[in-house]
Amino acid sequence: MDQRFTDGFWHSADGLKLHYRDYPGGSEGQPPIVCMHGLTRNARDFAGLAERLSPEWRVIVPEMRGRGASDYAEHSDSYNPLQYVEDVETLLSGLGIDRFVAIGTSLGGLMTILLASRGAERIAGAVLNDIGPEIEPEGIDKIRGYVGQARSFPTWMHAARALEEVHSDAHPGFELEDWLAAAKRTMVLGQHGRISFDYDMAIADAFRESDDTAGAPSANMWLAFESLAQTPLLLVRGELSNLLSQDTVEQMQTRNRGMQVVEVPLTGHAPTLDEPEAIAAIDALLAQVRAREIA
């Protein structure tokens, strides 16, 4: 199948060469969609979503420093949400994008909230995937338990089984082919024929040392979230999520009465956004965005 995207690169303020995928599409005046991945993920995480939404929408999927084809940072302390936001701001400026739809999974959702705090008028619509201003300690502890482990595997089958061992509680309905697909999204075949995770293991350093929301300034996250009050907003939550509690969802709804919520059944952290419930909810949000943009 022909590749649906072009590869692009930009440079961070501290000189890193960073990678993004650009799926062409959309019409004149229609904002592009910017998809931001989770802590240990990369641009491949949004392949299904981006291919489904383009060419009706232009979809841009940046890979944060230390992931995928983006350069690894010299100093691990730059692996933090505020730096990632700065990097994305540099990309948006370079592409001349002053208005966009943000879709963020986990860490990418925190970045969406932080971007809103720096100018919510730029965000035509937003999807937060299994993340909110408060993160449950249970979920953080689980991530700290596996992030940064430099494991490698001889075959894709071994890689898939390793993912299943760690994440079966979050995706109890996954079959073997689902775990294989997950492995190919998150891992890469190295030069020595071993399969390993496609991120810099040093991202674990700052994450493990942080006692707040994965390195984000937790004291300000609720205030930042309130910046989205006038923005079409969708929250996707996995029914089994150990990172986003139902209490936090209810608090978010109290602070943002217009926020739509969809729960993906029998799924933990985080939904893939390929589930029927997520697809329908995202399509509804994008229809709302389109109606507002042409009004």
Structural domain boundaries of the chain?
A: 6-145+218-294, 150-200
Of the chain, the end-to-end C-alpha distance in Å amounts to 37
Rounded-to-integer distance, Cα 70 and Cα 91, Å: 13
Torsion of CA 222, 227, 232, 236, to 10 degrees: -20
Are 182 and 163 spatial neighbours (Cβ–Cβ below 8 Å)? yes
Structure tokens at 189: 């075949």
pLDDT of residue 209: 65
On the 0-12 / 13-18 / 19+ scale of CB atoms within 10 A, 18 is buried
Sequence-separated (6 or more) residues with CB below 8 Å from residue 85: 111, 114, 115, 118
pLDDT of residue 212: 46
6-145+218-294 maps to CATH 3.40.50.300: no
Are 125 and 101 spatial neighbours (Cβ–Cβ below 8 Å)? yes
Query: Distance of CA 239 to CAs 77, 142, 169, Å?
Result: 33, 17, 11
pLDDT by 10s per residue, the chain, length 295: 578 999 999 999 999 999 999 999 999 889 999 999 999 999 999 999 999 999 999 999 999 999 999 999 999 999 999 999 999 999 999 999 999 999 999 999 999 999 999 999 999 999 999 999 999 999 998 998 899 988 999 999 999 999 999 999 999 999 999 999 999 999 999 878 999 999 999 999 877 765 544 455 565 899 999 999 999 999 999 999 999 999 999 999 999 999 999 999 999 999 999 999 999 999 999 999 999 987 6
pLDDT of residue 243: 96
pLDDT of residue 218: 61
Rounded-to-integer distance, Cα 45 and Cα 57, Å: 18
Rounded-to-integer distance, Cα 205 and Cα 80, Å: 10
